[in-house]
């Protein structure tokens, strides 16, 4: 965490436990130069009070801002650490996602930390449209923090993708980030990969074709790529794990075994159907593992190519 000097933690209303702020403070322990900005967003109700004159509107907004700032300062005191510098900040926003991204850009932050949203009825983790917007558009890595104690010596999982050569930069970037985190926290890196076996329809009509042989060949090829990648970066084979299946199934399965503190994954940051697929994968990961999710989109990867 040494390179993360400027952290932005999103403070969310009506939450008894501000996991993003707590995690930011824990990260700051590894960097004495780190500064945390605790951000509280206020919905801009200007259009809702258009019947008020401008003077009355400004007065009302100032009062609302004062109340929220006092509440934010009281919230920060619950987690205050004399060794960590925390700045309370309240901003108005018509669109919460856009406001956070604008603040990220204008404030020159290094890392965005947001707590996972737990659904009150289903008691599961869900991603809101704001979460998806942040993952796709953030200029920095995004940490979706879970409510678990941070164990400095815990496992760090890197989810690799060997489906195309274009994923090479993403794989290397994720590993470099994990190595930095492991060096500081003394954690152990584990590389994981899924081998999705998508059987071509035309192959079903080929005489003497054996689907199980095809599936085995796909798995072996992914294993070869995983071990080769690990060898290039001095990761021992026993810290490499692979299963046949789709990533949204394999990653949670492997994480249940490895019990990591953090999972690093790349996001294509697309829109439309492909974004929905990516979203489903991430949601499965968040819902079924008790670990922080570090997400790196194309903007983050492209700006930090090795």
d(CA 12, CA 36): 15
Inter-residue contact 250 to 281 (CB < 8 Å): no
CA-closest candidate to residue 113, choices 11, 229, 252: 11
Inter-residue contact 64 to 101 (CB < 8 Å): no
Of how many residues is the chain composed?
Answer: 306
For residue 87, being part of any structural domain is answered with: yes
Q: Please tell me whether residues 102 and 163 are part of one structural domain.
A: no
Q: Please tell me whether residues 296 and 223 are part of one structural domain.
A: yes
Residue 212: predicted pLDDT: 67
Residue 280: predicted pLDDT: 52
Question: What pTM value is reported for the model?
Answer: 0.85
Q: Please tell me whether residues 163 and 288 are part of one structural domain.
A: yes
Q: Please tell me whether residues 241 and 178 are part of one structural domain.
A: yes
Domain span at 4: 1-115
Q: Please tell me whether residues 204 and 287 are part of one structural domain.
A: yes
For residue 44, being part of any structural domain is answered with: yes
Bridge-partner residues for 193, per DSSP? Answer: 242
Residue 272: predicted pLDDT: 47
Q: Please tell me whether residues 246 and 159 are part of one structural domain.
A: yes
Residue 277: predicted pLDDT: 45
Residue 276: predicted pLDDT: 45
Dihedral angle over CA of 264, 232, 258, 241, nearest 10:
110
CA-closest candidate to residue 134, choices 291, 245, 12: 12
d(CA 140, CA 8): 10
For residue 141, being part of any structural domain is answered with: no
Residue 120: predicted pLDDT: 46
For residue 19, being part of any structural domain is answered with: yes
CB proximity list for 220: less than 8 A, separation 6 or greater: none
Q: Please tell me whether residues 68 and 172 are part of one structural domain.
A: no
Please provide residue 172's backbone torsions phi and psi, each rounded to the nearest 5 degrees.
-65, -40
> Residue 53: is it exposed, middle or buried by C-beta count within 10 angstroms (0-12/13-18/19+)?
exposed
Residue 52: predicted pLDDT: 53
For residue 134, being part of any structural domain is answered with: no
d(CA 96, CA 100): 6
DSSP states along 134-174:
HHHH-SS-EEEE-SS---TT-EEEEE---SSGGGHHHHHHH
For residue 127, being part of any structural domain is answered with: no
For residue 17, being part of any structural domain is answered with: yes
pLDDT tens digit sequence for 46-74: 655 555 555 555 667 788 889 999 999 99
3 state SS of 227: helix
What are the angstrom distances between the C-alpha of 214 and each of 81, 193, 197, 211?
56, 18, 8, 5
Q: Please tell me whether residues 157 and 305 are part of one structural domain.
A: yes
Q: Please tell me whether residues 5 and 92 are part of one structural domain.
A: yes
**Kind and range of the H or E run holding 102:** helix 96-106
Q: Please tell me whether residues 88 and 5 are part of one structural domain.
A: yes
Residue 188: predicted pLDDT: 96
Q: Please tell me whether residues 214 and 97 are part of one structural domain.
A: no
Tell me how many domains the chain contains. 2
The CATH number of the domain holding residue 285 is 3.40.50.12370
For residue 123, being part of any structural domain is answered with: no
> If you ran DSSP here, which 8-state letter would residue 82 be given?
T
Domain boundary among 115, 132, 165: 115
What parts of the chain have a pLDDT lower than 70?
Answer: 1-2, 45-59, 118-128, 198-212, 214, 268-284, 286, 303-306
Q: Please tell me whether residues 160 and 48 are part of one structural domain.
A: no
The 10 Å Cβ neighbour count of residue 40 is 20
Domain boundary among 69, 100, 115: 115
């Amino acid at each position: 965490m040494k390179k993360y000097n400027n952290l932005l933690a999103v403070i969310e209303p009506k939450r008894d436990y501000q996991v993003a702020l707590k995690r930011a403070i824990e990260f700051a322990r590894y960097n004495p130069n780190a500064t945390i900005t605790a951000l509280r967003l206020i919905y801009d109700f200007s259009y809702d009070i258009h019947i008020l004159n401008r003077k009355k509107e400004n007065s009302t907004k100032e009062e609302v801002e004062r109340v929220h700032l006092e509440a934010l300062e009281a919230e920060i005191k619950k987690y205050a650490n004399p060794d960590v510098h925390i700045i309370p900040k309240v901003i108005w926003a018509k669109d919460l996602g856009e406001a956070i991204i604008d603040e990220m850009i204008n404030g020159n932050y290094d890392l965005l930390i947001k707590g996972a949203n737990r659904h009150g009825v289903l008691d599961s983790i869900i991603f809101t449209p704001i979460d998806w917007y942040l993952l796709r558009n953030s200029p920095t890595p995004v940490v979706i923090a879970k409510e678990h104690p941070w164990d400095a010596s815990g496992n760090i999982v890197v989810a690799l993708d060997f489906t195309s050569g274009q994923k090479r930069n993403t794989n290397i970037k994720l590993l470099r980030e994990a190595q930095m985190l492991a060096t500081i926290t003394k954690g152990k890196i584990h590389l994981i990969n899924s081998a999705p076996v998508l059987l071509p329809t035309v192959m079903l009509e080929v005489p003497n074709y054996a689907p199980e042989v095809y599936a085995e060949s796909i798995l072996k090829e992914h294993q070869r790529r995983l071990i080769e990648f690990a060898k290039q970066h001095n990761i021992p084979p026993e810290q490499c794990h692979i299963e046949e299946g789709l990533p949204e199934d394999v990653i949670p399965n492997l994480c249940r075994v490895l019990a990591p503190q953090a999972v690093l994954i790349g996001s294509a940051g697309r829109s439309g159907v492909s974004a929905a697929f990516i979203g489903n994968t991430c949601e499965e990961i968040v819902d079924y593992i008790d670990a922080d999710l570090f997400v790196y989109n194309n903007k983050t990867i492209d700006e930090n190519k090795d």
